């Protein structure tokens, strides 16, 4: 067996060292001094300090701005443009004779929109006019009869007066001849004739007086006929007025200026009273209903300025103002308002509708229609001291109690 020389031993030693350097496990056993990163340069330290200072200054500015300015601006995107549109419906039934507008047409107040066939209502009006004429004729006939009866009453009264005079004369003659017949100066036959004549005259007075009373009662009956005819005439006039209203209602007009929408009526269509034919949207009277969270309403008051960002106009901002705040949350006016006492109660933030008036230029207003989404920001700085006043009043009230 030969001896290993120094050179061979050196080669073996170098080979084993190379193998250890390639082994990952051997790499982990490297001294910690070799993993330390190089120290930051002074320039880098200055940049990091400057960035930290800028962040702190920005945060301080934001905090000051929020406390003095930002916290008084309440915003929500739960808001839409609305208008008090009116559904156009006829008061009367009938066939549609004309449709005078088209979909999306701008109309003025009082402009005709549609017409219903008027012939049936014209016939009703003519019938009512005929009834009025008939009632007036009946009243005139009764008045003429009253005038004739009054003349007859005057004549009967004159005859009654004459009969009373004659009866008084006949009675006085009989009374005057009674002593003469008793003394024998006149015959009893003549006295009997005079008494018969006086009795007949008295009977005639009684009959004429009864006839006069009957004629007066006839006048009362004729006056009742006049009143009846007048009542019939009044009823016919009321029917004529109703027919005139129905006749006028056959022409449907715009109640205010706006734009036609949701038009469903067609010529020849039979429509019932109350049928929805179209809607008129008053685009000049638009407003916004913004549903704010209840936590945003502490300082919100009517009259506060509002900035309105309209999504459909690319975020264009228009001005507005708060008109009013709803007297209840939206849930309270739903069909089935919540009854928290009937089940498990979970507190959630409620939303309250706030009505906002829109102050836009005519060119911008022409582009606004109900239903568009908007974002509103209300400036409540005018009421920033109200909560302090409320707290002070509450404390004074508690002390008084």
Which among 302, 305, 348 is positioned nearest to 326, based on CA atoms?
A: 302
Tell me: do 243 and 212 sit in the same domain: yes
Say yes or no: 134 and 243 in one domain: yes
**What pTM, to 2 d.p., does this model score?**
0.64
User: Which pLDDT value is given to residue 372?
Assistant: 93
CA distances from 199 to 181, 193, 212, 381 (A): 18, 10, 20, 112
Q: Are strands 251-253 and 270-271 parallel, antiparallel or unpaired?
A: unpaired
> Taking Cα atoms as reference points, which of 364, 361, 338, 362 lies closest to residue 351?
338
CATH number at residue 379: 2.40.30.170
Residues 6+ apart with CB under 8 A from 102: 260, 263
Is residue 56 in some structural domain? no
Assess whether 129 and 161 both reside in one domain. yes
Look at residue 42 and tell me if it is in a domain. no
Angstrom distance (rounded) from CA 94 to CA 108: 25
Residues 306 and 273 in one domain: no
Domain that holds residue 362: 68-83+286-334+348-400
Q: What residues in the chain have per-residue pLDDT under 70?
A: 1-38, 68-70, 184-186, 342-343
Condensed to tens digits (0 to 9), the pLDDT of residues 80-115 reads 999 999 999 999 999 999 999 999 999 999 999 999
Last residue in a domain, options 249, 265, 296: 249
Structure tokens at 394: 């509450």
Same domain assignment for residues 196 and 222: yes
Asked if 155 and 74 sit in the same domain, the reply is no
Residue 46 located in a structural domain: no
Strands, E assignment, 83-166: 86-88, 94-99, 106-107, 112-116
Q: Is residue 41 part of a domain?
A: no
145 and 190 within one domain: yes
DSSP 8-state code for residue 5: P
Q: Does the residue 10 lie in any domain?
A: no
Whether residue 292 sits in one domain with residue 194 = no
Does 297 share its domain with 321?
yes
152 lies in the same domain as 79: no
The reply to whether 34 falls in a domain is: no
Is residue 127 domain-shared with residue 143, that is, in the same domain? Answer: yes
Is residue 52 in some structural domain?
no
Decide if 178 contacts 219 (C-beta within 8 A). Answer: no
Is 218 within the bounds of a domain? yes
The domain that holds 269 is classified in CATH as 2.40.50.100
Cα-to-chain-centroid distance, residue 87: 11
Judgement on whether residues 268 and 302 belong to the same structural domain of the protein: no
Q: Look at the block and give the residue holding tokens 């005519």.
A: 362
Residues 316 and 395 sit within 8 Å (Cβ to Cβ): no
pLDDT at residue number 393:
86
The total of structural domains in the chain comes to 3
Nearest 5 degrees, angle CA 177-CA 180-CA 183?
A: 150
């Amino acid at each position: 067996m030969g001896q290993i020389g120094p050179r061979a031993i050196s080669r073996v030693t170098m080979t084993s060292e190379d193998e250890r350097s390639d082994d990952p496990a051997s790499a982990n056993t490297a001294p910690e001094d070799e993993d330390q990163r190089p120290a930051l340069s002074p320039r880098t330290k200055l940049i990091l300090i400057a960035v930290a200072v800028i962040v702190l200054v920005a945060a301080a500015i934001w905090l000051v701005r929020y406390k003095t300015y930002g916290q008084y601006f309440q915003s929500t995107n739960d808001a839409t443009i609305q208008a008090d549109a009116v559904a156009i419906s006829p008061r009367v039934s009938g066939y549609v004779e004309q449709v005078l507008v088209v979909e999306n047409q701008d109309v003025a107040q009082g402009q005709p929109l549609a017409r219903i066939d008027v012939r049936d209502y014209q016939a009703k009006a003519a019938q009512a006019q005929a009834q009025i004429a008939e009632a007036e004729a009946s009243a005139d006939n009764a008045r003429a009869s009253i005038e004739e009866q009054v003349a007859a009453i005057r004549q009967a009264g004159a005859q009654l007066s004459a009969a009373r005079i004659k009866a008084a004369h006949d009675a006085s003659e009989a009374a005057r001849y009674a002593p003469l017949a008793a003394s024998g100066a006149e015959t009893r036959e003549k006295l009997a004739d005079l008494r018969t004549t006086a009795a007949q005259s008295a009977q005639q007075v009684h009959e004429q007086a009864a006839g006069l009373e009957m004629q007066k009662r006839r006048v009362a009956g004729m006056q009742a006929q006049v009143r009846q005819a007048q009542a019939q005439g009044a009823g016919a006039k009321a029917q004529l007025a109703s027919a005139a209203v129905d006749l006028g209602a056959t022409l449907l007009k715009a109640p205010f200026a706006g734009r036609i929408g949701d038009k469903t009526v067609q010529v020849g269509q039979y429509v019932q009273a109350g049928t929805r034919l179209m809607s008129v949207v008053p685009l000049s009277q638009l407003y916004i209903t913004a549903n704010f969270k209840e936590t945003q309403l502490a300082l919100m008051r009517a009259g506060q300025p509002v900035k309105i960002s309209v999504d459909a106009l690319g975020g264009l901002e228009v001005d507005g103002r708060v008109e009013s705040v709803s007297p209840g949350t939206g849930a309270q006016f739903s069909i089935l308002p919540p009854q928290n006492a009937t089940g498990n109660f979970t507190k959630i933030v409620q939303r309250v509708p706030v009505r906002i008036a829109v102050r836009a230029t005519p060119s911008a207003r022409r582009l606004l229609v109900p239903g568009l989404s908007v974002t509103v920001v209300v400036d409540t700085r005018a009421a920033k001291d109200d909560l302090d006043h409320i707290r002070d009043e509450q404390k004074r009230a508690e002390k008084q109690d």
